[in-house]
Amino acid sequence: MASPQVQYFTPDWAPPGKQMFACDRLSATLGVEQCATNWSRATAGDGMLRCKGCRIGACHAGEDQPNMSPLRGCMVCARCQRGTNRLIFGWLCVSEYNREKEWRAKRNAKGSYPSRMRPLDQRTVAYTEAGEPKRVTRAHTQTTEELVFGVLRDASRAVRFHFDGSQVAKFALQEQLW
């Protein structure tokens, strides 16, 4: 990751040699260590939401290819994209998990076939995470977007998607999405 352009200085009131800078996101003067801590906590979903997705914070934390997606670390269902307090198997909200169980059982709570639900099929998405090729396959998914959403939410490093197995789609480059 290219180092962002930041003007570092040492104020009169700071210890000698302490590197500080003016943070635009927080409208504050921060030390490099505090910036790295804020970014790490925000990325883990544990504080300072304004620091989430900040390239300067990622650089100060020593990350060379971080996942800058705003979805990173959020408790959001991969299928319906709604926020939740609990993800079943780290993937679906309780409601979507129950609909999936009904689909697999071929009957809903009333005992009839779940006719309003989109069919669930096995899907695979190829992607690279910080240059390392990976694949995610799920047995019961409604759309490919469900897999893309889950990867962007769960990956810790920069992600690029490969929809035909060899070519990177222009719009899927993570920096262009957000």
- Tell me the C-alpha distance between 39 and 55, whole Å: 9
pLDDT of residue 116: 83
Which residues have CB under 8 Å from 117's CB, separation 6+?
A: 99, 102, 103
pLDDT of residue 130: 85
pLDDT of residue 3: 55
Q: Which of 127, 173, 178, 117 lies closest to 150, judged by CA?
A: 127
pLDDT of residue 69: 81
pLDDT of residue 178: 46
Are the CB atoms for 21 and 7 separated by under 8 Å? Answer: yes
Is the whole-model pTM more than 0.75?
no
pLDDT of residue 4: 67
C-alpha dihedral sign at 155, 157, 161, 166: negative
Instruction: Identify the residue whose tokens are 């000698």.
Output: 16
- Tell me the C-alpha distance between 5 and 59, whole Å: 11
- Tell me the C-alpha distance between 64 and 111, whole Å: 53
pLDDT of residue 173: 46
Please report, for the chain, how many H helices and E strands are present, in that order.
5, 6
pLDDT of residue 163: 67
Instruction: Collect the ranges in the chain with pLDDT lower than 50.
Output: 165-178
